Structure formats: C-alpha cells, structure tokens
Chains A and B, each alone.
Chain A
Amino acid sequence: MAQNEKVLMKGNEAIAESAIRAGCRFFFGYPITPQTELAAYMSKRMPKVEGTYLQAESEVAAINMVYGAAAAGARVMTSSSSPGISLKSEGVSYIAGADLPCLIVNIERGGPGLGSIQPSQSDYWQATRALGHGDYHMVVYAPATVQEMADLSYKAFDVADKYRTPVMILGDGMLGQMMEPVSLPEPRTELPEKPWATTGHRGQREHNVANSLYLSAEELERTNFERFERYDIIKREEALSEEVDCDDADIIVVAFGASSRIARSAVKEARKQGIKAGLFRPITLWPFPVEALAATVGHAKAYLTVEMNMGQMVEDVRLVVEGRAPVEFYGRTGGVIPTPDEVLEQIRAIDERLGE
C-alpha cells in the first residue's frame, strides 16, 4: 500500500474515508452514539463522489438496504453501535445465507440493553459467535489504531468480495473518537467483476437469484457444507495477529482493540520492572489466530486476557491453550476503560504466583 501523507483523523472518519477509497459508494445507516462521526462523514462525502448516503428508518431497514445493494453488486456498508447491531443481526444472517459481500462496522458501547455510550468490547461473543441465527460466520477485524481502522476497512471490502461474505470491523467508542495520524490508502480504480449479481439478465444469461431459502433440508445442508469449506480457507489464509515481546515471555497478555493498547503500556512497564511479559494481539477475532497463539504455548507459563467486558475472548484463548497453562482474565465493563496500572498489577500478581 502506497504511503500517502499522514493526516490527523478520528477513527470513525478514517473508516469512512478508507471505505470510499476502497470503492464503497453506498452507505445505509441510522443514528447512534458513538459511531456518529462515521455516518456524518459519509453524508458529507458520498454526494461528492456520486455515491449514496441514505439515512434509513431503522437499523433493520438499513441492513436490508445493504442486502439489496450487495445483491446488486455494489461495495456497500453500514455502521452502528451495539444496540443497533443487535437490530441488524437478522439482515446479516440473510446476507451470509445469500453469500453476499458487505462491510458492517460496530463501534461498540457498553451493554446489555441500552447500556452506556462509553467504549466497550462486550460484543465479542455477538460478533464471533451469534450475530443472527443459523450456521454462519463472518470475518471480524479488531483494529487497535486509527491507521488500522483505515487499512482494515480497505482490506475488508476485498476479503468480503473474495469470499462472498459479510465482514465486520469491531471497534469501540475510544478508537472511533480518537485522532491519530493516518496515511490513507490509494483510491481503487478497478473493482472485481460480480457475475452473480442481480443486475438484470438482459437476455444474456440465466436469471440470478439472491436467496437464503431452501425447502429441501439436504440442499441447505449442502450449501452450508460448501460455505464452511470456504470458512476453512478463510481460517488458513486470513487470520491476523501481532506479537510484542512474546518470544521469551513468561506471561503473555492477550488483548484486542482498545484494551490491547492499555495492555501494551502495562507490558512495557512490566518489562522495565524485570518481568518477562509479552502482548499477543488478535487482529482477526474470527478467524481467531489459533496457530500463532498456539505457537506460544510451549514457553509461556501463564496467560492473562484483558478485555473491556466480563470475559468473552478469554474462552477462545482457553480453547487454544487447552489447559496447558493457566489463562486468567482481567476486565472492566459497562464502558469503564481499564488503566495500565490495573493491568500491571495483575501481571505482577501472576508473576509472584509463578515465582512461588
């Protein structure tokens, strides 16, 4: 990716601009805090690039507009925050069932229910396990910087088109509203052909149908099998993670997105104090970077997952570690952001226990 001049941008705006540069010309959304800047940016920019910004009557309608636009072959996205994503879950299931590509952005806030408007990571399960009904997954990216919000949004459209799947950017209010220098990607000039799109057959082909309905159980099973074969490829090809000082680490802190930044500060401080700590940061939450994390299991003596929730990703970490080392959890929830000192305290406590 070419390095363009860096500009200061909010995470929400970086996602929007990057999506436009990826060739996204259709945005359907509904107002909700703290993703506000994203929709506002789109409403300003889309008309200037001959794109469409449409404020839908509801999240439910917005995601179904995304469904229609994706079926028509466009690069299309929606954004929302936790309660709004719950409303979109029906549509995402249909989009996955019809094998259509799109981008869904969740700038998380505290929950459950109406919750708070402060940053949170409590939709990890929803994003990786249960957004909508049925046997399906979507690729979930968890950026930790404004630069990553730009880069991963750009990449998300390619991955969505390549595998014909919905892709989610899972951010939070802190990442969405903070500014950092960002180098934006080059605008796309060519987009992939979509011969399956419902654009009108013009007498040139059989009719295309975007559909998730199968009255025959065997046929639906076959479709699901095929989709999961694609998921296997995604797991092999698309898992991403970052490691900081993990090679010789006794204690590996596992954290994603905003909490990984706090964990990074804590790990740095722990090293200064002579504790061999490292940070493992999943960048894709689905597929979870199983192989990369598993490679640390031999030497790490303990794991600590740090999340802004009551302990969700920790289950995936435990699935990888398989009881071969203790996996502990520290989290703040409801919109409270953990501090590096709190995390450091946890690291020190684990270090003391390991020394016993």
Chain B
Amino acid sequence: MEELRVVFAGFGGQGLLFAGKVVANAGLIDGREVSWLPSYGPEMRGGTANCSVTLSDEPIGSPLIMNPNVLVAMNQPSLVKFEEAVVPGAKVFADTSLVNRLPQREDIEVFAHPATELAEDAGLKGLANIVLVGKVLKETALCSRETMEAAIRKAVPARKAQMVENNLQALELGFNL
C-alpha cells in the first residue's frame, strides 16, 4: 500500500492532534509502521497547530512531513501554509466553514465541505475533525471502516468513553459526504 503522509492543520483546539491519533491508531491496528508528530514551536503560539501522521509498510524515516499526500486544512492560514508543499496528486480536504479561498492548483484533488457547520447541525459540535477523518477514509481508503471505528474506540481516553458514540456518528457523517 502506498505510504500515507497526512498533515492535519488548523487552530489549536480543533482536535487536530486527536484526529491524527485516530489515523495513527488505525495504522497500529492494521499492523503498519506508524509515526505521529505534533508541531511545536513558534507556530503553536501563532494560531496554527498541526500534526504529521505517516502510515507505511516500511520503516518510517523522518516523521516530520514536508510533502504531504493528504492535507486536512481546518483554517485559511493552514491551507496557505501547506498548499504549495503537497505533492502532485495529493488529496486536500478543506473545512469551508473556516476556509474561504480554495487552492488554485490543478494537479491536486480538493474536497471542500463546511465540516464545522455540518457537525454543529448534526449536534456534534467540536467534531468537525472526525467528520473530515470520515471523508479522508472514504477518499483514500487508508483502512477499513471497521479498523477506523476500532481506532476511534482506542483513541478516545477511558475517562471520556461517553464520547465514542458521537465520534462514530461524526465519522459516519463525513464518510457519507
């Protein structure tokens, strides 16, 4: 299977690190090589946060993704920051609730959905991250539905177990977009 290099980018508080953790857990369940790296440093304080998740069938070199083949952008600055970095043929997922200018490149596939609003409308406030994970799953087939659901159960900490159901609904919502 092709190496998956996903960057989740947006504001702190949008659950980007958690979304990355869900995808990383999917890789773990499938027995693949996995790395998850949060951004930290000045950009953490400048309003944007991101995390790099790599799933591969070979040992992973640098966990810091310079050229993602999947980008999940949950705000405008993040899209601007990574737009040029994604490889040709990359799949870019934009939350149009917060992104109003989409990439102009023609060598990439763009999936634009108002994930934040869709989540809120469905009573899943704060789960736009997982809505987008659902859409990523559908478009990339990075793993099976069962694996991703199991990954959500694994990633949600025990003390927040009541959140599992909402996360699964968000996944479903995104998958059906």
Contact = CB atoms under 8 A, between A and B. Distances in A.
Contacts of B59: 264
Interface string A96-107: 000000000000
A340 interface: yes
A180 interface: yes
B28 A181 contact: yes
A137 to B, nearest CB: 31
B38 A261 contact: no
B40 A34 contact: yes
Interface stretch (A128-136, A170-178, A184-192): A170-178
A264 B35 contact: no
Interface string A156-184: 00000000000000000110011111000
A124 B140 CA distance: 42
B63 A178 contact: yes
A178 B36 contact: yes
B142 interface: no
A118 interface: yes
B28 to A, nearest CB: 5
Contacts of A116: 41
A262 to B, nearest CB: 4
Q: Interface residue tally of chain A, by bracket?
A: 20 to 34
Interface of B, secondary structure class, is mixed
B60 interface: yes
Interface string B11-43: 000000000010011011000011111101100
A212 interface: no
Contact of B34 (A180, A265, A339): A180
Contacts of B87: none
Given A8-B21, A8-B28, A8-B34, A177 B40 contact: yes
A6 interface: yes
Interface in A212-250: none
B166 to A, nearest CB: 22
A20 to B, nearest CB: 20
B66 A339 contact: yes
A339 B35 CA distance: 16
Contacts, number: 65
A34 B59 CA distance: 25
Given A261-B62, A340-B61, A178 B37 contact: yes
A267 to B, nearest CB: 9
A287 interface: no
A28 to B, nearest CB: 25
B62 A340 contact: yes
A8 B66 contact: no
A335 interface: yes
A151 to B, nearest CB: 15
Contact of B62 (A7, A118, A180, A339): A339
Contacts of A57: none
Contacts of A8: 21, 24-25, 28, 34, 36
B62 A262 contact: yes
B41 A177 contact: no
B41 A117 contact: yes
Given A8-B28, A261-B60, A262-B61, A340 B66 contact: yes
29 contacts: A7-B28, A8-B24, A8-B28, A8-B34, A116-B41, A117-B40, A174-B64, A178-B35, A178-B38, A179-B24, A179-B35, A179-B36, A180-B34, A180-B36, A181-B27, A181-B28, A181-B33, A181-B34, A261-B61, A262-B61, A262-B62, A265-B61, A265-B62, A266-B61, A268-B61, A335-B41, A337-B64, A339-B64, A339-B66
The 10 closest A-B pairs by CB, nearest first: A265-B61, A179-B36, A178-B37, A264-B61, A262-B62, A181-B28, A261-B61, A178-B63, A118-B41, A339-B66
